[in-house]
Amino acid sequence: MNKVKEYKTPNGNIWYRIENDAYGNPRIMTHFLNLVSPSQLREAHHMSANNACESIDILEQWARETVNGRNYQAKWFGGGIVWKSYLNDEQINNLIDGMQTK
């Protein structure tokens, strides 16, 4: 776990700047639940007929589509979504916190 910096949004959501990819692009990682809205949480619960595993799969898919990201495969963090981003810290805070208000 090298070159990982933890950040917290004003609403308390945690995200990380992780090491750059092989091409030097900066990468951002957060838990997939930070990238879905409360209404999407309710919708996934209703769509899956109370099947928790299916709900998680639906929510992960929506989170990946939100930022065009991929599942983060590191052993130290489960449930992460990673994406390339040149946004500054304030813009990332707004993106993540903005998802919680939809």
Domain boundaries defined on the chain:
5-99
Average pLDDT of span 58-72: 89
Query: How many Å apart are CA 82 and CA 10, to the nearest integer?
Result: 20
Q: pLDDT tens for residues 24-46?
A: 999 999 998 888 888 888 888 88
Token pair 């990982």 is at which residue?
4
Query: If you count them, how many residues does the chain have?
Result: 102
Against a cut of 0.95, is the pTM above it? Answer: no
Q: Is the pLDDT of residue 51 over 90?
A: no
Q: What is the mean pLDDT of residues 89-99?
A: 90
The pLDDT assigned to 2 comes to: 65
Query: Does residue 1 have a pLDDT over 50?
Result: no
How far is CA 21 from its chain centroid? Answer: 17
Q: Where are the alpha helices (DSSP H) in the chain?
A: 38-47, 52-67, 89-99
Amino acid (1-letter code) at residue 15: W
**Residue 45, both tokens:** 């619960």
DSSP category for residue 79 = S
Q: pLDDT at residue 102 above 90?
A: no
CA angle at residue 81 from 77 to 84, to 5 degrees? 120
